[in-house]
Structure 1
Amino acid sequence: MTSPALRPILLTAAADAATGSGRSKPTIVVGPSLGTGAAALWGSTAALLAERFTVIGWDLPGHAGAEASEADYTMAELADAVAALIAALRAEGAIAEAGEVPLFYAGVSIGGAAGAQLGHDHPGLFDGISIICSAAKIGTPEGWAERAELVAAAGTPTMVSGSAERWFAPGFLEEHPQAGTALLHVLQNADRHSYAHACRALAGYDLREELGSITAPVLAIAGAHDAVCPPADAEALAAGVADGRAAVVPSAAHLAPVEDPEATAELLAAFFGSLTPRSGSAPAPRLPGDPYDAGMGVRRQVLGDAHVDRANAGVDDFTAEFQEMITRYAWGTIWTRDGLDRVTRSAITLTAMIAGGYWEELEMHVHAAVRNGMSAEQIKEVFLQSAIYCSVPAANVAFKIGQRVLAEYE
């Protein structure tokens, strides 16, 4: 047996080794499930994570065009191959060196099992691990041996029908035929011997008695409809590791990142975001569902990345809790509400800034109003209304600020 050679699949914008562009973002290494490829499985979720994370996937040998494996390997050897891949990416400058920015892992099914094995065999390599639609032990050794023998003899097309039933929640293939078909094509075209090698790796995989040695924070995610690795498996993982929690994606079965990219990305962003240190202070503890991450997303949409990045760069121990508060409550619980559209919220906010005489904030929110779709005519009407109900002198200052900001866009 020997560790297979893995190839990286860049799922978000590449880092520039010469300038370091993109290297300041935390990196998430994502793993596939058996029979799928990283791009087809993770593409939609990676796109949702791209603003905050660099996402790099890997493919199993013989899957999605990757080089076939020549011999059986164990899950420990697969984990070693992922660790070797990370070392190679660091040597190439594709991702930051250890300790520069956080490095995370997320994997589905066999990719999730590889994540558990990595946490066990390579402590300290990852700052956090998400094990998705997986378990500390999957199936039985006899079942995997039988499948390996069948596929080695008859090919992966024998798995397509059964996998379509196991992989997806009821109705998914009818509603999302393109996404489902792309994954099933990867399965049908996978190298049969490589698929069998992966089956035999799973046959020997069992970390149930060794979960306590995994010290990296773990988020175990299950699909509510998953018959292969049901939610109880995620709960057992979370309970068994040193620092674990579990979550369920209600709409998913066995391939959560493609079945519900939004829910999967939200869970991962919240979990990995809670483990990402701020400059000059410790990370804030946040659990999945915390409005902070939704608030940060809206804050960036409304105010722009440049403004938010400047604000975050200035955070220190004195201001950190205030910044957390406004992101969590102003942006995460008010601006995310459905009751008013963003143009209306901008109109209300402009009026409040004029009434309070908060001129620096008014300038920022004129920019935000334009980003939210307000026209110059609508902004003028808000200022005219404010002249009557706030004061003419206040509206006079507002018009000067608005004129200056709108001229930048013209």
Structure 2
Amino acid sequence: MSDRALSTPLDDSFERYLQDKGKGRGGDGGNYRRNAARELERFAEWVAGDRGDDDWAGIVPNDVDRDPTFDDLDERVFREYARYLAGDRGLKQNTVQTYYRYISAWCGWCVNEGYLEAHYAQRASAMAPLPEDDGRKPGDQQAWTSEQRHALTRHVDEQARDVVEAYTTLPEDTDSLDKQRARYAALKAARDRALVFVLAYTAVRVGELLRDPNDPRRRGVRWEDLSLDDGSMDVYRKKQQWDAASLPDPVISPLRSFRQLMDPPTERWPVFPTFDQRTLAELVREELGERGERSEAITECRNEYARDLLLALDEDIRPPSITTDGARSILQRLSETAEIDIDHPKHDYLAPHGGRRGMGEVLVRAFGYTVAARYLDNSEEMVRERYSHIEAGELGDVATEALSEIDG
């Protein structure tokens, strides 16, 4: 961490962060940018001691006359800010969580950009003063609504169609690297579309679908695990055994289109490979080195490709699957670009588990708890518990009808 980065005033980073998170030309628009800007302004006033509290002078030492810098930040600062938000009696508990997440997201961005050496805001001691989630019942947890599901799947479908068409209609005399860049963009959009459709319609747990770095058995589904003709997919279930999950009609076409576009060298390739450039660059260098290629030759080979993923495809250097955290990052990005209206106390994006719970809602309402339990790979008892709000609502309708008959 350079001294220059540490001595940078905090608010010097705000505009760059907001541009990265904003929409439109120059990153000037979007609901997330507007909300994040408001919370960054609140944070800036607090760290400077300008929030009107006589007992709080800010995070800069009293004998120093300067603006707060990144050198002043550590986990204790974020702990105090969490305590400050939680102590505002005008804020609901879930609102406190939401406001803190904006600052936490900025902190994570600062780590990636080299302003900070650690994500202090996510440390347990920093988050300890934050309130609990109000004891919400399972039925209050996020579940994608039909409108949200349709909005997200329509967005990724249109996005993928446009990018794939742009790639497949390139003139024959297009420069090789430009053609590769177009293919890479098409692959990424097609992968994101396939992932969203699978999460939206299969109700498979994200941990059964993607890689868990802490569990070698969960290496992410591979093409050999899918049977698109039969509409099934083998996954390693939560109950620690392999089992078949259904692939309903809406997911078949996105998966088949992505497979055709990617043309994986073998069936052992992950269905949802990582596109992280740092990971792929390291993987390509290591694999080609183990094959006997010299460093100069590896560099020359890599320079012939716009992205290491394309080199990996040609050389059958199998990348890892994206992780569950990677899927969350993808859904955060897509929820923002799709501008989906999300009103939830814990998540400001469509989280992976919300797709599963949304399908559970649909199945319970349409076919009852027994069928839903089979599709969700849960016991009927557990499904009844988690979706008890549906039964409560139905019983409420029965009571209303009974009262109308009596009173009528």
Structure with the larger strand share: 1
TM-score if structure 1 supplies the norm length? 0.29
Answer 1 or 2: higher relative contact order, Cα 8 Å, separation at least 6. Answer: 2
TM-score if structure 2 supplies the norm length? 0.29
